[in-house]
Chain A
Amino acid sequence: MLKQRWDTIGIWAVLLFMPAPILIVAAASFSHDGYIQFPAGELSLRWYGEFLTDARWLRALLVSLGLAIAGAVLSTAAAFLAALAVTRRQSAFTRYFEVAVMTPLLFPHAALGVAMLSLLMMIGGYGTFAGLLLVHCIITLPYAYRPISVSLRKLDREMEEASMSMGARNWYTFWHVTLPLVRPGIITALLFSFILSFDEVTVTMFLVGPFITTLPVETYSFIQESGTPVVAAISTVLVVITLLLVILLERLVGLEFFVEPDRK
């Protein structure tokens, strides 16, 4: 009885606490003054108007979307190819590789930001789209690698063997047997790295230049400069894009991946 009540309280705490700041920003974005007031002020869409008519924001939005799409595709492709090579044959090298590919996760983001800045200073690409893209690929690679390697490990090799023993060519087997079976892993990797890249700010803020910036970084600088409530409208747009992708992920493959155990 008592336990049941605690469970309910716990659930309600999650329901209220976790999305609260996001919901409050969304509510503020529709108010005329951009702040929540008691009693409620008048409603307006003026902040959305300001967002959509300012080239500064639209350019940053386009950069963010382009970066997230290209970054997700490239790092998922790199992760998929590597996972194919590694999960097929276990050796000392592959074990080192699996540890190495996860190492960037042990880096505090601020340190990662400085490291990436020193990299771009050395090889060129500071303040360019290509430079940002390279860095986003480096930081999303571990997130793309994990779901793919999990689904490749779960893959029943006998399915491939059956296909090949019935005379199917390698490419046919790959395209019609292997690929469909690891599709959940690939979709998770794509969407997960898209979201991470689209919302990334701590590393990216070291790398943006005067000619290129992303929407989260531009929003951050804007909050520091003046911070008119147009921020609330932009935030709401960022939340809606993330929400749509999370729902897509849930519908396509489910969210169970996030609570998969680390080791088998």
Chain B
Amino acid sequence: MSLTDQAFKKKMHGPGREVWGRVLLLAPAMVLLGLFCVSVVQLIASSFIEEGRLSLSLYTDFFSRADYRDIFLRTIRVSMLVAALCVLLGYPVAYAMWRYKGNRSHLMILIILPWLVSIVVRTYGWMVILGPKGLINEFLAWAGLVERPVRMMFNTTGVVVGLVHILIPFMIISILSVMLHLDRRLEEASASLGARSYHTFFRVTLPLTVPGIITGTMLVYLMSTGAIVTPVLLGGVRDRMMGTQMYQEVIQTFNFQKASMLAFLLLLAGLAVVLPLQMLERKLSRFMDQRGS
């Protein structure tokens, strides 16, 4: 116990008041967290209850329909693809930003501003670019390269392009934050010992930044499975994803139980990827600590 705590305790006349003080300080956040927990319990419970009895029928109905299975699998497939593309595209960007000699703050704004702008706006931006009367098609028509507009949205391609652009800041920021706290001297040591630059990169820099890649992958995958706006606006009605389906169940058919079931499945699909990744990350950091010491 530090000096301040003792002084604090003395001024508050005994331990009882101090405990109550802490409870009071925590109360507002605990209320918010409590309501969050209640909502999750309610969500899960309502997906297992049918006509007042415990039942798995919502789940068995879901998996017995091929079109629903497609939606579920497509969501996972698209999200994995988006996460992989974000790693491939985001890593070089983070690397370039890390090595950038000038004012990094200006580059940060270029990543953070698009990241914070509403998803609706960014998705609309891609509609203006990819649409049948969009930037690319207008340009191609003007240049005389195509007769009819090329179809770039209302299919999975459009969804993937939009989601990668929307989610890549999570990846760049996760990787960059690991890079910025790397010891630059490790690279210098490797280089001074005569390692070639690609060798230094693959043997030193890349392994040390894997935790950033893992964090970024988790975030991008989770956000992608839970997306609604981008799949609806860029994917259209044919190639639906879980988010789209849930929104339809709620808004069009008012089927909250089915939406809850879908939400719980989505949660499980998220955890199935996130928990192993978290374990891997923990193992990795323990391994590196041992090697380091």
Cα A205 to Cα B123 with chains together (Å): 16
Chain A residues near B82 (CB-CB < 8 A)? none
Chain B residues near A44 (CB-CB < 8 A)? none
Question: Is residue A55 within 8 Å, beta carbon to beta carbon, of the partner chain?
Answer: no
Q: For the complex, count residues of A whose C-beta is within 8 A of B.
A: 100
CB < 8 Å: which of A14, A86, A161 contacts B96?
A14
Within 8 A of B (CB), among A1-34: 3, 6-7, 9-11, 13-15, 17-22, 24-25, 28
Chain B residues near A89 (CB-CB < 8 A)? 5, 22
Cα A231 to Cα B181 with chains together (Å): 41
Chain A residues near B246 (CB-CB < 8 A)? 110-111, 113-114
Given A24-B125, A108-B270, A262-B215, residue A137 in contact with residue B32 (CB < 8 A): yes
Question: Is residue A101 within 8 Å, beta carbon to beta carbon, of the partner chain?
Answer: yes
Given A141-B29, A161-B2, A255-B105, residue A109 in contact with residue B226 (CB < 8 A): yes
Q: A235–B120 contact, CB under 8 A?
A: yes
Q: Is the interface of B mostly helix, strand, loop or mixed?
A: helix
Instruction: Determine, out of B61-69, B132-140, B150-158, the stretch whose residues face the partner at the interface.
Output: B132-140
Cα A231 to Cα B266 with chains together (Å): 31
Cα A103 to Cα B270 with chains together (Å): 13
Q: B121–A22 contact, CB under 8 A?
A: yes
Given A14-B96, A19-B114, A170-B8, residue A115 in contact with residue B43 (CB < 8 A): yes
Q: A19–B29 contact, CB under 8 A?
A: no
Within 8 A of A (CB), among B78-120: 92-93, 95-97, 99-100, 105, 107-114, 116-120
Cα A52 to Cα B26 with chains together (Å): 43
The digit string for A77-98, where 1 denotes a CB below 8 A from any CB of B, is 1110110111011000000010
Query: Which single residue of chain A is at the shortest CB-CB distance from B270?
Result: A108
Chain A residues near B173 (CB-CB < 8 A)? 258-259
Q: A118–B256 contact, CB under 8 A?
A: yes
Cα A39 to Cα B143 with chains together (Å): 10
Question: Is residue B48 within 8 Å, beta carbon to beta carbon, of the partner chain?
Answer: no
Chain B residues near A21 (CB-CB < 8 A)? 114, 122, 124-126, 128-129, 165
Q: For the complex, count residues of B whose C-beta is within 8 A of A.
A: 99
Going nearest first, the 5 A-B pairs with the smallest beta carbon separation are: A108-B226, A21-B125, A10-B96, A119-B39, A82-B29
Given A14-B93, A84-B25, A259-B176, residue A115 in contact with residue B128 (CB < 8 A): no
15 A-B residue pairs with Cβ-Cβ distance under 8 Å, sorted by A, are: A75-B32, A101-B29, A101-B33, A111-B43, A145-B29, A164-B4, A195-B116, A201-B119, A202-B119, A224-B232, A235-B118, A246-B116, A255-B109, A258-B173, A260-B177
The digit string for B19-43, where 1 denotes a CB below 8 A from any CB of A, is 0011011111110110110111011
Q: Which A residues have a C-beta under 8 Å from some C-beta of B?
A: 3, 6-7, 9-11, 13-15, 17-22, 24-25, 28, 35-39, 74-75, 77-79, 81-82, 84-86, 88-89, 97, 100-101, 103-104, 106-119, 121-123, 134, 137-138, 141, 145, 157, 160-161, 164-165, 169-170, 195-196, 198-202, 205-206, 216, 219-220, 223-224, 231-232, 235, 238-239, 242-243, 246-247, 250, 254-255, 258-262
Question: Is residue B193 within 8 Å, beta carbon to beta carbon, of the partner chain?
Answer: no
CB < 8 Å: which of A13, A74, A85 contacts B22?
A85
Given A109-B223, A114-B246, residue A25 in contact with residue B40 (CB < 8 A): no
A105 to chain B, nearest CB (A): 8
Q: Which B residues have a C-beta under 8 Å from some C-beta of A?
A: 2-5, 7-8, 11, 21-22, 24-30, 32-33, 35-36, 38-40, 42-43, 46, 92-93, 95-97, 99-100, 105, 107-114, 116-122, 124-129, 133-135, 138-139, 141-143, 165, 168-169, 173, 176-178, 180-181, 197, 215, 222-223, 225-229, 232-233, 242-243, 246-247, 250, 256, 259-260, 262-264, 266-267, 270-271, 274
Chain A residues near B92 (CB-CB < 8 A)? 6, 10, 13
Identify 9 new A-B residue pairs, CB closer than 8 A, beyond the known A18-B114, A111-B263, A138-B32.
A11-B107, A114-B262, A115-B43, A119-B39, A161-B4, A161-B7, A198-B118, A224-B232, A232-B128
Q: B138–A205 contact, CB under 8 A?
A: no
